[in-house]
């Protein structure tokens, strides 16, 4: 599975957009980009995933560059409840190795009033 | 739907004791996973079960055994607990074709 690189921490003002970058320069053609977040002491929560097109759901938007070597998770109007560690993971979709995820260190996002 | 449930929520063991962490899911998922998370660290995969009847090692399997009892249940056993196994343990399940994993609330284990 491709390796990802994320900044260890970021700050964001409440109500502003939070843009979390992820580098995955060795991603292969069949690998998807997944984002999860973990609010303090809870189990991780799925946010969004994509292959090559930009994706949006009720939680966030995912922008993947045309060469697929990097992506950005966007929380359009960050709230204090979005303070969490955000993990970017790349993996093939489907039954390859039972769908396992390999978590990196993630980005600790602090949303400040 | 309860989703993914884990028991117990907290446990304290002495070095050398054994215990089994239980996990169950009610989403009819084929795959289940056990992770551990040490303080200030990301999650690391211990074992996973791609489907009922199969189990495979993850990143950090040493000191653990697993059993996929049926499609719903996946247990993690520590045969002889060590202080290095003090951690928070998360169970998860997924339908691999969809990619999204659902996590339980975790078991906080301390080994003295």
Reduce the DSSP state of residue B14 to 3 states and report it.
Answer: coil
Q: Between the CA of residue A10 and those of A35, A111, A112, what are the distances in Å?
A: 16, 9, 11
Reduce the DSSP state of residue A52 to 3 states and report it.
Answer: coil
Among chain B residues, CA nearest to A39: B105
Work out the percent of chain B whose per-residue pLDDT is above 90.
85
Q: Predicted confidence band at A95 (pLDDT cuts at 50, 70, 90)?
A: low
* Over residues A70-96, mean pLDDT: 90
Pick the residue of A32, A44, A57, A100 with the most B CBs within 10 A to test the interface with B by mutation. Answer: A100
In this model, does residue B38 exceed pLDDT 90?
yes
Q: Predicted confidence band at A94 (pLDDT cuts at 50, 70, 90)?
A: low
Task: Name the B residues in 34-63 with CB < 8 Å from any A CB.
Answer: 35, 41-45, 48-51, 54, 56, 58-59
Minimal CA separation from A94 to chain B, in Å: 4
Tell me the pairing of strands B10-13 and B87-94.
Answer: unpaired
Nearest to B106 among A43, A46, A49 (CB): A43
B50 to A104: CB separation less than 8 angstroms, yes or no: no
How many angstroms separate the CA atoms of B28 and B95, rounded?
Answer: 8
* Over residues B19-25, mean pLDDT: 97
In tens, the pLDDT along B81-104 reads: 999 999 999 999 998 777 789 999
Provide the mean pLDDT of chain B. Answer: 94
Q: Predicted confidence band at A30 (pLDDT cuts at 50, 70, 90)?
A: confident
In this model, does residue B22 exceed pLDDT 90?
yes
Q: Is B25 on the interface with A (CB under 8 A)?
A: no
């Amino acid at each position: 599975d491709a390796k990802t690189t994320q900044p260890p921490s970021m700050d964001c003002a409440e109500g502003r957009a939070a843009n979390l970058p992820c580098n995955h320069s060795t991603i292969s053609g069949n690998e998807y980009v997944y984002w999860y977040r973990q609010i303090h002491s809870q189990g991780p929560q799925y946010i969004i995933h994509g292959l090559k097109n930009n994706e949006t759901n009720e939680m966030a938007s995912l922008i993947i560059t045309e060469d697929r070597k990097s992506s950005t998770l966007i929380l359009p109007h960050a709230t204090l409840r979005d303070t969490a560690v955000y993990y970017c993971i790349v993996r093939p979709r489907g039954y390859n190795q039972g769908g396992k995820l390999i978590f990196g260190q993630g980005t600790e996002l602090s949303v400040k009033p | 739907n309860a989703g993914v449930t884990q028991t117990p929520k907290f446990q304290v063991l002495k070095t050398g004791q054994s215990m089994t962490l239980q996990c169950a899911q009610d989403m009819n998922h084929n795959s289940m996973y056990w992770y551990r998370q040490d303080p200030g660290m990301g999650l690391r995969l211990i074992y996973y079960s791609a489907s009922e009847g199969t189990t495979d090692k993850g990143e950090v399997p040493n000191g653990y055994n697993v059993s996929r009892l049926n499609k719903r249940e996946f247990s993690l056993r520590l045969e002889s607990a060590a202080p290095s196994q003090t951690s928070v343990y998360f169970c998860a399940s997924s339908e691999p074709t969809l990619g999204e994993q659902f996590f339980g609330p975790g078991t906080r284990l301390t080994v003295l």
